[in-house]
Amino acid sequence: MSDLTRQATEEFVQRYWSNDDDDPKHERLRRAFSTAIAHGFWGPGARLPTEVELTETIPCSLGTVQRALRQLTSDGLIKRRRGSGSIVTDSRIGIDRPWHMRFFDDKRDRERPLAVYTTTLKRAVSAKQGPWSTPLNQGSRSVVRIDRIFSIANKLKIYSVFYALAERFPSLTTSPLEDLDDENLKLLIARRHVMPVHHVAQSMRIETPPAAFIAASDLVAGAPATIINFIAYTLTDEAIYYQDFYIPPTRYRLDLGISTNHGHRTS
């Protein structure tokens, strides 16, 4: 096993393998791989460690590893090719009609935006105050915070933090986290709560992102990042959500849309 492969496999075990679980080992391994793939640890086209390499690092027998890989193949997450090993498939559909993170690769296609995939990292509900409080008219109420990774064509990872009033949008607080993956929250709010976005105020700032954002994204530790903020409003100028995107340096072009005289983005 190469040093690079060993390092990646050891990191996979550290981040995704669980010893505190009563499920059979093949099911734990299957779940660990599924979660790692969903989080982009191994992206589409990536080759997984070989069966032998996995048994050298993971406390599983060869038979257990083979059973987990067969299940992942049945799930459509990997393809097993003779001579090439196990390859991660590109089975994700991506976010429906992305509005904010519309990136373009001008070297290939100036007209078609790159695919956007989202992975939900965590969610919290609290009455904590912050820059979102005034726009959302929070007062003493609680907000739901949803941290996600926006993967642009599996080439650029952007950290996103989303805030909305918890009592107004219960689907955001009760839906399983995995159900929010590749979900357009703007459309979800319009669909489940009949509150469509009419216009968006957008702004930009430059600052060093929190250290906790670095590992899951392409942000550089200690380096300033571009932060794009969007505040979505109803027709009557009531704020629906507040969202920050922490964008690493990239050659891709971000389309910010057209602003009206009031500073609102048009669709």
Q: What's the per-residue H, E or C state across 29-92?
A: HHHHHHHHHHCCCCCCCCECCCHHHHHHHCCCCHHHHHHHHHHHHHCCCEEEECCCEEEECCCC
Percentage of the chain surpassing pLDDT 70? Answer: 90
Q: Which of 149-153, 163-167, 205-209 shows the lowest per-residue confidence on average (mean pLDDT)?
A: 149-153
Other residues' Cβ atoms within 10 Å of the Cβ of residue 148: 25
Q: Which of 65-79, 151-165, 168-182 shows the lowest per-residue confidence on average (mean pLDDT)?
A: 65-79
Distances in Å between the Cα of 81 and the Cα atoms of 41, 51, 52, 84, 220 are 20, 13, 16, 5, 35
Q: Answer yes or no: are the C-beta atoms of 142 and 166 closer than 8 Å.
A: yes
Stretch 248-267: mean pLDDT = 66
Query: Could you report the per-residue pLDDT of 43-94, keeping only the tens digit for each?
Result: 878 888 888 888 988 889 999 999 999 888 876 778 876 666 788 876 555 6
148 SS3 class: strand
Kindly report each contact of residues 254-261 with a partner whose C-beta sits within 8 Å and lies 24 or more positions away, as own/partner.
Answer: 254/101, 254/102, 254/103, 254/228, 255/102, 255/103, 255/104, 255/113, 256/202, 256/228, 257/202, 259/202, 260/199
195 SS3 class: coil
pLDDT of residue 249: 93
- Domains of the chain, each with CATH number or no CATH: 3-88 (1.10.10.10), 102-266 (3.40.1410.10)
Selected residue with higher pLDDT from 95 and 163: 163
pLDDT band at 120 (very low <50, low <70, confident <90, very high): very high
Q: Is the pLDDT of residue 134 over 90?
A: yes
pLDDT of residue 8: 85
pLDDT band at 250 (very low <50, low <70, confident <90, very high): very high
**Parallel, antiparallel or unpaired: strands 116-126 and 239-247:** unpaired
Stretch 218-235: mean pLDDT = 94
0.75 exceeded by the pTM? no
